[in-house]
Amino acid sequence: MVTVESLGHVCFTIADDKYKVIIDPFLNGNPQATTTPDKIKVDGILATHGHSDHLGDSIEISKLTGAVVVAPYELAMYCKRYGAKVHPMHIGGSWNFDFGWVKLVQTFHGSAIVSDDAIEYVGAACGFLVTMSGKTIYHAGDTCLFSDMKLIGDRHPIDVALIPIGDNFTMGIDDAVEATRFLHPKMVIPMHYDTNEYIKADPKEFARKVKGLAKCVTLKPAKKLEIP
């Protein structure tokens, strides 16, 4: 049985009977978070880009658990500099880990570590395809709608797609509906909304508009979905 659990905003864990990975572990500072990095036990950490609401506590969780941070090369090297165990990859590349298969796919977004007095760019942002125990999950990361989502969905049948709907920094609801049409997953879970004042969105509106394209599941933080 493969399960997807929301930890708030864009942070999800994917687990099968043996392994668990966490994607974009933004816990410290996440108003939706219901847990803390020291409680996370995972075999892999997947980070889509350097923005604090995605890279989050990746480095700390790697140090605590020994789990590898899987990220685009430049971001992986940044994590290594601060003591994380890393596996650098880049867009289009895939790898078979003990926990499952991972492929980095494109997004249209920035990737930088932003602090009070500096901005350090860390390459391109990515999305992830993850296959564990025969189920494929797509985490879109932060992105606009792009027509090559059709290519992603056609080449890799998706069981669950995690799609941003919050607008302003990423696609909004109407573009997320079109993204679902392109990706044609069995199930879609909206993410990246209601975390701050810029990204207010109504998941019920998305659920209504996406009807007929995929089964829409709104996953509240700390709630789990079992993939049939």
Applying CB under 5 A, the residues found at the interface with Ni ion are 51, 142
* Cβ-based nearer residue to Ni ion, 48 or 62: 48
Q: Kindly tell me which residue out of 5, 24, 43, 53 binds Mn ion, with binding defined by CB under 5 A.
A: 53
Give the range of 32-40, 48-56, 58-66, 86-94 binding Mn ion by CB under 5 A.
48-56
DSSP, collapsed to helix, strand or coil, labels residue 84 as coil
Nearest Cα to 85, choosing from 59, 48, 103? 59
* Cβ-based nearer residue to Ni ion, 3 or 168: 168
**From the CB of 117, what's the least distance to Ni ion, in Å?**
20
**From the CB of 133, what's the least distance to Ni ion, in Å?**
29
Residue 128 token pair: 């992830």
Q: How many residues sit in the footprint of Mn ion (CB under 5 A)?
A: 2
* Cβ-based nearer residue to Mn ion, 132 or 189: 189
Cα-Cα end-to-end distance for the chain: 8
CB atoms near residue 164 (< 10 Å): 29
- Contacting residues for 31 by C-beta, under 8 A, at least 6 apart: 8, 195, 196
- State which of positions 27-46 bind Mn ion (CB under 5 A): none
- Residue 35 has phi, psi (to 5 degrees) of -145, 180
167 contributes a contact to Mn ion by CB under 5 A: no
**From the CB of 127, what's the least distance to Mn ion, in Å?**
12
Residue 94 token pair: 């895939």
- State which of positions 127-166 bind Mn ion (CB under 5 A): 142
Q: CA-CA distance, 69 to 75, in Å (whole number)?
A: 9
Q: CA-CA distance, 140 to 129, in Å (whole number)?
A: 8
* Cβ-based nearer residue to Mn ion, 97 or 108: 108
**From the CB of 17, what's the least distance to Ni ion, in Å?**
33
Q: Are 13 and 39 contacting, i.e. CB atoms less than 8 angstroms apart?
A: no
The interface partner of residue 9, options being Ni ion, Mn ion, none and the CB cut-off 5 to 8 Å by kind, is none
**From the CB of 136, what's the least distance to Mn ion, in Å?**
23
* Contacting positions for Mn ion (CB under 5 A): 53, 142
